[in-house]
Amino acid sequence: MKYVERQVKPAKKKWKRVITRVLIILLIILLLPPIIVSIPFVQTTIVGYISDKFSEQLQTTIKIESVNISFFNRVRLNGIYIEDLNRDTLMFVSRLDAA
C-alpha cells in the first residue's frame, strides 16, 4: 500500500488568501453601486419609481421623463410634469439643470 504525502500549507498563506478575498469583496461592494447608479437608465428608473410613489401618496400625477446625474457637479431633469389636485397642470418644465 502506498502512502501519499500531503503537503500542508502554512497558516500564513491561508490567512493571506482569506484577507485578500475579503478585501476584494469589500471593494466590489463599495465601488459597484456608485458605478451602477451613474448610468442614466438606472437613474431614470429610480426617479420613475420615486415619482410614482409620490403620485400615489399625493393622489395626483407626477412624471419625470429622464434624469442625468453627473456626480459632484450637475443634475439634469427632462420632462417634469406635475398636476394639482384638480387635474390641472401645475408645472411643466421641459429641461431643468442644476449645478
pLDDT tens digits, 1-17: 566 666 656 677 888 89
Q: How far apart are CA 61 and CA 84, in angstroms?
A: 8
* Residue 99, pLDDT score: 86
In tens, the pLDDT along 31-77 reads 998 889 889 899 999 999 999 999 999 999 999 999 998 877 889 99
Higher pLDDT, residue 1 or 25: 25
CB contact set of 83 (below 8 Å; sequence gap of 6+): 60, 61, 62, 89, 90
